Amino acid sequence: METLATVQEPSLTKATRTINGSQAVLEAFVAEGVDTIFGYPGGAIMPIYDALYDYHDQLKHILVRHEQGGIHAGQGYARASGRVGVVFGTSGPGATNLVTGLADAMIDSTPLVCITGQVFAHLLGTDAFQEIDVINITTPVTKWNYQVTDATEIPAVLAKAFYIAKTGRPGPVLIDITKNAQLQQFEYEGYKPCSHIRSYRPKPIVRKEYIAQAAELINQAERPFVLFGQGVILGKAEKEFKTFIEKAGIPAAWTVMGLSALETDHPLNVGMLGMHGNYGPNVLTNECDVLIAIGMRFDDRVTGRLDKYAKQAKVIHLDIDPSEIDKNVKATVGVWGDCKETLPLLTKLVESKVYPQWVNRFKEHLEAEVTEVIHDELNPKGEVLTMGEVIRNLNELTGGDAIIVTDVGQHQMVACRYAKFNQSKSNITSGGLGTMGFGLPAAIGAKFGAPDRQVVTIIGDGGFQMTLQELGTIMQNEVDVKILILNNQFLGMVRQWQQLFMDKRYSFVDIASPDYVTLAKAYGIAGQRVNKREDLNGALSAMLNHKGSFLLEVMVGKENNVFPMVPQGCSVSEIRLK
Q: Out of 58, 130, 213, 499, which one is annotated catalytic?
A: 130
In order of their start, the domains of the chain are: 4-188 (3.40.50.970), 208-362 (3.40.50.1220), 385-555 (3.40.50.970)
Element (H, E) at 145: strand 144-148
* Residue 364 φ/ψ region, left for φ over 0, alpha for ψ in the -120 to 50 degree band, beta for the rest: alpha
- Quote the distance between the C-alpha of residue 450 and its chain's center: 14
Among 129, 208, 353, 363, which one carries the catalytic annotation? Answer: 129
Catalytic residue list contains 9: no
Phi/psi of residue 403, nearest 5 degrees: -85, 125
Please give the pLDDT value at position 517: 98
Per the residue annotation, which of 143, 160, 166, 179 is the catalytic one?
179
Q: What is the value of pTM for the model shown?
A: 0.95
Say how far apart CA 255 and CA 212 lie, in whole Å. 26
Looking only at the bridges linking them, the beta strands covering 185-188 and 17-20 are antiparallel
Cα Rg, the chain, nearest whole Å: 25
pLDDT digit string (tens) for the chain, length 578 residues: 333 333 344 444 457 899 999 999 999 999 999 999 999 999 999 999 999 999 999 999 999 999 999 999 999 999 999 999 999 999 999 999 999 999 999 999 999 999 999 999 999 999 999 999 999 999 999 999 999 999 999 999 999 999 999 999 999 999 999 999 999 999 999 999 999 999 999 999 999 999 999 999 999 999 999 999 999 999 999 999 999 999 999 999 999 999 999 999 999 999 999 999 999 999 999 999 999 999 999 999 999 999 999 999 999 999 999 999 999 999 999 999 999 999 999 999 999 999 999 999 999 999 999 999 999 999 999 899 999 999 999 999 999 999 999 999 999 999 999 999 999 999 999 999 999 999 999 999 999 999 999 999 999 999 999 999 999 999 999 999 999 999 999 998 999 989 999 999 999 999 999 999 999 999 999 999 999 999 999 999 999 999 999 999 999 999 999 999 999 889 999 999 98
Active-site pick, 67, 240, 389, 553 = 67
493 is a catalytic site residue: yes
Longest dimension (CA), the chain: 76
pLDDT of residue 5: 37
The reply to whether 246 belongs to the active site is: no
pLDDT value at residue 14 = 56
67 is catalytic: yes
The CA distances from residue 475 to 64, 481, 524, in Å, are: 11, 11, 6
* Cα separations in angstroms, 190 against 18, 160, 187, 213, 521: 11, 15, 9, 48, 48
Please say if 179 is a catalytic residue: yes
- Considering the candidates 275, 436, 466, 493, report the single residue annotated as catalytic: 493
Q: Give every CB contact of residue 105 below 8 A, 6+ residues apart in sequence.
A: 71, 74, 75, 78, 111, 112, 171, 172
Could you give the CA distance from residue 281 to residue 283 in angstroms, rounded to a whole number? 6
| Angle CA 465–466–467, to nearest 5 | 95
Q: What is the pLDDT of residue 578?
A: 85
